[in-house]
């Protein structure tokens, strides 16, 4: 299987679907990357291309159904476009290079490069199920190359591989950078051996993790997204497979034990911070983007998405770029009004992107 963090195929969603009680029905084809088999022991095995399986015990006679775990009653999107975002700022020698949007699809093993209006201007292949994307203020892109257990850093033109960060025995699905301290963090959905997720932190100059962050209070953590705030603290969104709820943890200075700052998510999604230190996050199951005051008093900023996953700010820290995985769309949200100011198709219905980043990234 591809460890994709959209509701359609993610392990957490499968577990929740089984436990919630299902009837017989249609099963996905092998082309969807997941095969479900009823064993003689009345269990369901979710077979991964990761070379390991997750077995979920079911009562005798219970048959599982898996077609799509996106709520069937969710209506198609109908956003009214408002004023498009302005032209981006440029930096130094890269002043002649226009702003770009980089997306990555684990289904196609391709990362695409678009203009901010959605024109495809380039792509790079050869990845191993790439997902989360980040960009720094200089225009370097960072790709969570999930199955290869690496994070790849590319130059502004996305033409030169600048560095490879090893993430041994982990499956990274997101990445964030904090250039002020030259720190990088990778959010791991789970370990290669099937253990709980974690955050791998890389101090300045290191291409291997200098520390690993976990949340031992969670029964079994399935990591989703990772982000830095302006102070350099790490934030990690995750799903607790035991309680079937998502949450967001804070690690002060990317060290020590976490503090839970958001709880009760239907299904955790992306996380990001603006220049004032306000937290933004998506709940994939609710189809909603939230905005907080600091990390508290969180309210709906924009709703009506199908399956909003990863989010990242532009270079002005004004417009938030978001992947709506279930709709195969990339959106730009005005964080002042909550309006969707730009939207374009990316990847395709069968190969939607998971990660998105505006290049260059935030100016800190």
Task: Work out the average pLDDT over 42-55.
Answer: 28
Residues 6+ apart with CB under 8 A from 210: 201, 202, 203
Pairing mode, strands 288-293 and 319-324: unpaired
Top mean-pLDDT range of 1-10, 95-104, 138-147: 138-147
Higher pLDDT, 83 or 15: 83
- Residue 26 pLDDT more than 80? no
118: exposed, middle or buried (Cβ count in 10 Å: 0-12, 13-18, 19+): middle
How many Cβ atoms are within 10 Å of 208's Cβ, its own excluded? 11
pLDDT one-digit tens code per residue, 278-321 = 999 999 999 999 999 999 999 999 999 999 999 999 998 989 99
Question: Looking at residue 6, what is its pLDDT?
Answer: 55
Checking if the pLDDT of 82 tops 80, the result is: no
The residues, any chain, with a CB within 8 Å of residue 290's CB and separated by 6 or more, are 280, 281, 282, 283, 298, 299, 300, 301
At residue 9, the pLDDT reads 41
Judge whether residue 61 has pLDDT over 60: no
Helix (H) or strand (E) holding 132: strand 130-135
pLDDT over 90 at 128, yes or no: yes
**What is the maximum span of the chain, computed from C-alpha positions, in angstroms?**
66
Task: Return phi, psi of residue 15, to 5°.
Answer: -60, -45
pLDDT for residue 41 is more than 80: no
Determine the pLDDT at residue 313. 96
Q: Is the pLDDT of residue 275 over 50?
A: yes
Confidence of residue 47 (pLDDT cuts 50, 70, 90): very low
pLDDT of residue 285: 95
pLDDT in tens, 213-253: 999 999 899 999 999 999 999 999 999 999 999 999 999 99
Domains of the chain: 95-359 (2.120.10.30)
If one compares 90 and 150, the residue with the highest pLDDT of the two is: 150
E strand or H helix at 15 = helix 11-19
Structure tokens at 25: 């029905």
44 is written with which tokens?
A: 């369901």
**pLDDT of 177 over the 50 cut:** yes
As given in the structure block, the two tokens for residue 293 are 């005051």
Mean pLDDT of 45-71: 27
What whole-number percentage of the chain has pLDDT above 90?
A: 66
**What pLDDT shows up at residue 89?**
53
Which region among 2-16, 35-49, 303-317, 329-343 has the lowest average model confidence (pLDDT)?
35-49
Contact indicator for 200, 167 with CB cutoff of 8 Å: yes
Work out the pLDDT band at 92, boundaries 50, 70, 90.
very low
Which of 173, 176, 138 has its CA nearest to residue 158?
Answer: 138
Average pLDDT over residues 65-70: 24
Predicted local confidence at residue 97, as pLDDT: 55
Q: How many C-beta atoms lie closer than 10 Å to residue 92's C-beta? A: 7
Residue-wise pLDDT for 134-172, tens only, equals 999 889 999 999 999 999 999 988 999 999 999 999 999
With CA atoms as reference, report the closest residue to 165 among 176, 156, 71, 191.
176
Q: What is the mean pLDDT of the chain?
A: 79
Paired sense of beta strands 183-191 and 198-202, if any: antiparallel
- What the block records as the tokens of 119 is 């024109």
Q: What number of other Cβ atoms are within 10 A of residue 252's Cβ?
A: 13
């Amino acid at each position: 299987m591809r460890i994709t963090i959209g509701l359609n195929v993610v392990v957490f969603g499968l577990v929740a679907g089984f436990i919630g009680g299902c009837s017989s029905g249609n099963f996905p084809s092998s082309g969807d990357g997941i095969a479900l088999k009823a064993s003689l022991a009345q269990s369901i095995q979710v077979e991964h291309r990761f070379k390991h399986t997750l077995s979920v015990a079911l009562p005798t006679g219970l048959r599982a159904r898996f077609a799509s775990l996106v709520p069937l009653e969710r209506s198609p999107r109908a956003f009214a476009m408002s004023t498009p975002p302005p032209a981006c700022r440029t930096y130094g020698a890269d002043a002649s290079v226009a702003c770009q949007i980089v997306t990555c699809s684990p289904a196609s093993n391709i990362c695409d490069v678009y203009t901010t209006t959605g024109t495809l201007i380039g792509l790079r292949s050869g990845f191993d199920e790439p997902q989360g994307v980040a960009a720094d203020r200089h225009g370097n892109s960072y790709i969570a190359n999930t199955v290869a257990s690496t994070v790849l850093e590319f130059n502004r033109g996305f033409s030169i591989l600048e560095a490879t960060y090893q993430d041994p025995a982990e499956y990274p699905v997101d990445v964030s950078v904090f250039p002020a301290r030259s720190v990088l963090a990778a959010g791991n959905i789970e370990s290669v051996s099937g253990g709980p997720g974690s955050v791998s932190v890389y101090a300045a100059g290191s291409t291997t993790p200098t520390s690993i962050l976990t949340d031992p209070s969670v029964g079994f953590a399935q990591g989703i997204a990772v982000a830095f705030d302006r102070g350099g603290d790490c934030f990690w969104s995750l799903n607790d497979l035991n309680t079937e709820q998502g949450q967001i943890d804070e690690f002060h200075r990317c060290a020590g034990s976490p503090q839970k700052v958001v709880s009760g998510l239907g299904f955790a999604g992306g996380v990001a911070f603006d220049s004032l230190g306000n937290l933004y996050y998506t709940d994939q199951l609710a189809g909603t983007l939230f905005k907080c005051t600091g990390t508290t008093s969180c309210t709906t900023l924009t709703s009506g998405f199908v399956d909003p996953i990863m989010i990242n700010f532009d270079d002005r820290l004004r417009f938030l770029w978001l992947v709506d995985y279930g709709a195969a769309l990339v959106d730009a949200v005005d964080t002042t009004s909550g309006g969707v100011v730009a939207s374009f198709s990316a990847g395709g219905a069968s190969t939607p992107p998971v990660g998105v980043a505006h290049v260059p990234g935030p100016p800190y």
